[in-house]
Amino acid sequence: MTEAFVYLDYAASTPVDPRVRDRMREAGEMTCANPSSTHAAGRLTHGIIATAAAQLAGLLNAGPRTLVWTSGATESDNLAIAGGARYRNHRGRHIVTMKTEHKAVTDVFEQLAKEGFDVSWVEPDGNGILDPAAFEAVLREDTQLASIMLVNNETGVIQDIEALGGICRERGILFHVDAAQAAGKVHVDLSTLPVDLMSVTAHKFYGPQGIGALYIADRPGCHVDPILFGGGQQRRIRPGTLPMELIAGFGMAAEIAAHRIDDDLEHLRALREALWGGIRDLGGIRRNGDPDGFPGILNVSAAGVEGESLLLALEPLQVATGSACNSKSREPSSVLRALGLSDTDAQSAIRFSLGRPTTAGEARFAADRYRQAVLKLRGLAPGAGV
Ligand SMILES: *Cc1c(COP(=O)(O)O)cnc(C)c1O
């Protein structure tokens, strides 16, 4: 008998909501219906995009003219950081980020360092939280851009964007936030948050893959140089033909999320409680990150077991090791290392990420599987049915 896989990797990607699929089909049929009339097709296209922009702006409480469509958060991060740093080159060449950021941020900073920018990497505390005072301590006269994520993709840690952004605003530093794990999952209010640039992506909250956006605040001096060149679309900030169906689906995912965030959070809190409650008393278990972080993620290390063997023993659970995007490299997660974990603790880390479709039964099943796998690998339960 083959057991069905239990998908607990919603931080990597979420399944597309059926209403999103319907909306995408509808948008596709609408735009194909008028292939001969450029003007009619143009109006339809314009309407579909305007609707989606209003839906996404509604989710983030932003003005619709602040959004630039991209291919996802990777591109948004690149555009914000490389484009922002180059735009403000005259102001200075010092830029700041954290060691616990996603690769789509850290690799851009590495690239900018090669181009002559001076990068400071601030460190979080043992729970993964950045102390605003530690952040402020590295800022200089010539600091021109900082990038700090909202919800961490490996640990769920939430940064104090209001405090960090406030510090940047006082000093005229362009402030970018990677909100790929936050948008559609926790409340984000850009009408009050002191944020200049924010990256979001549809496939982390039940929208399609391959579509994202960059929010660019409508404030003087808040701008980015393009990183792509071509047509005149999107005020030349990001040229290229817009993918209508993906944008329509993104908008629908945003509208659905806006109505569900509180219910989703309550659901995830209950699930994470059940999962953690089922494994916490195993002994030698370390919970990585801040317990008050985003409830869709639980990251745990088990003393005396090795990550890859654990992952194998955990089948049929679809979970990630601490470093989902680096899992081929066998390097311990740099995010967890930055929290002060030893190589062995970082290597044994498993990220469970829960989603809207996750059931209480799946959470209990995951806890049982994890217990059995850890006990077996520690050699304490010979013959355990793993
Ligand atoms: C998924 C993710 C990205 C990359 O998003 P894509 O849309 O897949 O390019 C960037 N940052 C964070 C924090 C993410 O979780």
Q: What is the CATH number of the domain that holds 85?
A: 3.40.640.10
- The last residue of a domain, from among 256, 280, 301: 256
Has residue 385 been placed in a domain?
no
**pLDDT tens for each residue of 150-206:** 999 999 999 999 999 999 999 999 999 999 999 999 999 999 999 999 999 999 999
Q: Write out residues in the chain with pLDDT < 50, as ranges.
A: 1-2, 324-327, 382-386
Is the same domain home to 100 and 53? yes
Distance 101 CA to ligand 1 centre (A): 10
Q: Is the domain of 232 the same as that of 376?
A: no
pLDDT at residue number 373: 96
* Cβ of 178 less than 6 Å from ligand 1: yes
Pocket test for ligand 1, best of 75, 158, 159, 181 (most atoms within 8 A of CB): 181
Residues 273 and 297 in one domain: yes
Whether residues 136 and 252 fall in one domain:
yes
Which residue has its alpha carbon closest to ligand 1 atom 12?
180
206 and 304, same domain (yes or no): no
Shared domain check, 213 and 275:
no
Domain count, the chain: 2
Residue ending a domain, choose from 256, 281, 314: 256
- 281 and 223 share one domain: no
**Does residue 104's CB lie within 6 angstroms of at least one atom of ligand 1?**
yes
Which of 212, 233, 256 is a domain's end point?
A: 256
Do 89 and 137 have their domain in common?
Answer: yes
Whether 386 is in a domain gets the answer no
- Hey, which residues are catalytic here? 325
Residues 94 and 172 in one domain: yes
Q: What secondary structure, in 3-state letters, does the chain show?
A: CCCCCEECECCCCCCCCHHHHHHHHHHHHHHHCCCCCHHHHHHHHHHHHHHHHHHHHHHHCCCHHHEEEECCHHHHHHHHHHHHHHHCHHHCCEEEEECCCCHHHHHHHHHHHHCCCEEEEECCCCCCCCCHHHHHHHCCCCEEEEECCCECCCCCCECCHHHHHHHHHHHCCEEEEECCCCCCCCCCCCCCCCCCEEEEEHHHCCCCCCCEEEEECCCCCCCCCCCCCCCCHHHHCCCCCCCHHHHHHHHHHHHHHHHHHHHHHHHHHHHHHHHHHHHHHHCCEEECCCCCCCCCEEEEEECCCCHHHHHHHCCCEECEECCHHHCCCCCCCHHHHHCCCCHHHHHCCEEEECCCCCCHHHHHHHHHHHHHHHHHHCCCCCCCCC
Q: Is the CB of 149 under 6 A from ligand 1?
A: yes
Residues 215 and 279 in one domain: no
Residue 147 CB less than 6 A away from ligand 1? no
Classify residue 4: in a domain, yes or no: no
- pLDDT at 325 (0 to 100): 46
The verdict on residue 250 lying in a domain is yes
Q: How far is the CA of 50 from the centre of ligand 1 (A)?
A: 24
* Distance from Cα 33 to the centre of ligand 1, integer Å: 34
pLDDT at residue 322, rounded to an integer: 60
176 lines ligand 1 (CB under 6 A): no
- Give the per-residue pLDDT at 38: 67
Range(s) of the domain holding residue 216: 18-256
* CATH of residue 292: 3.90.1150.10
